[in-house]
Amino acid sequence: MATHHLQTPFTDEVIRQLHAGDVVYFDGTLFGIRDLTQIYMFDQNHEPPVSLAGMPCIHTAPSLKKIGDKWEKICIGTTTSTRMDRFSPDLIGRYGVKAIIGKGGLYEGSLKAMQKHAAVYLAIVGGSAALETKQVEEVEEVYWEHLHPEALYKFRVKDFGPLTVAMDSHGRNLFEDVKEITRKKLPEIYAKLGITI
């Protein structure tokens, strides 16, 4: 289990060095997206007004307040990724996103896109918004403001993490590996509890 301190944008070479189980912290740019952001992009065909190439995207609906022209953070946390799985292959393939950050993981199609285009899924600790908010230095830009709190956000982050490489660009999915370990234990657990299948 290696620990990596990275800087955005991420190159393919850097991404290929990450393996399931590794820990990542990074500095630089982080884009915030959610269900509605991606429905707007992919189902309603709106091109993002900023390049996402080489960048990480986090699944979030942040609490922000606007003071004059400036957006201030109140609370920035992470939501469940599985709901947004269907957008992820295009986010990686079409827009060159190198890391998707969330909780719960994504499915097989997304894993294949990660293998093909050199991208990773980084699992954050769900529920730890206080920590994430602290690591966001600034809300640099809010694009598609009318969609807030599900707009497209550009954050500047420092030492953002810990993030666990849960799906790597070599076809490994830590969530699935762990699930398989548990699945193999189920018969023994059933037997101990007096459950006959």
Partner 1 sequence: MADLDYQIVEEAAKETYIRALCDLPPDVRDALKRAYEKETNPTAREVFNAIFKTIEIADKDKTLICQDTGLPIYMVKIGSKFPWNGYQIKNRLTIGARRATQEFPFRGSSTHPLTRVNPQTSVGEGLPVIHYDFVEDSDCLDILMIPKGSGSENMSKMQMFYPAHGIAALKKFVIDTVFETGANPCPPGIIGVGIGGTADLVMKLAKEAIVRPVGQRHHDPQVAEMEEELEEAINSMERGPMGLGGKITTLAVHIETAYTHITQNPIAINTQCWPARRSRAKIYPDGRVEYGY
Burial of 101 per CB tally in 10 Å (0-12, 13-18, 19+): buried
Helical segments of the chain, H only: 12-16, 35-38, 88-93, 108-117, 129-135, 174-192
Shortest distance, CB of residue 96 to partner 1, whole angstroms? 27
Task: Give the tokens for residue 78.
Answer: 């992470």
Nearer to partner 1, 54 or 77 (CB): 77
Q: Which residues bind partner 1 (CB under 8 A)?
A: 1, 21, 23, 60-63, 65, 74-80, 82, 103-105, 123, 125-131, 133-134, 149, 162, 164, 166, 174-175, 177-179, 181-183, 185-186, 189-190, 192-197
Shortest distance, CB of residue 175 to partner 1, whole angstroms? 6
Whole-angstrom distance, CA of residue 103 vs CA of residue 123: 5
Whole-angstrom distance, CA of residue 29 vs CA of residue 136: 10
CB contact at 8 A, 28 and 156: yes
Integer angstrom CA distances of residue 113 from 51, 75, 183: 19, 31, 26
Nearer to partner 1, 94 or 179 (CB): 179
Whole-angstrom distance, CA of residue 107 vs CA of residue 189: 27
Nearer to partner 1, 50 or 75 (CB): 75
Shortest distance, CB of residue 89 to partner 1, whole angstroms? 21
Nearer to partner 1, 94 or 185 (CB): 185
Shortest distance, CB of residue 170 to partner 1, whole angstroms? 18
Shortest distance, CB of residue 40 to partner 1, whole angstroms? 15
Nearer to partner 1, 62 or 89 (CB): 62
Task: Give the tokens for residue 79.
Answer: 């939501």
Nearer to partner 1, 29 or 60 (CB): 60
Shortest distance, CB of residue 117 to partner 1, whole angstroms? 24
Integer angstrom CA distances of residue 177 from 146, 156, 167, 193: 40, 33, 10, 25
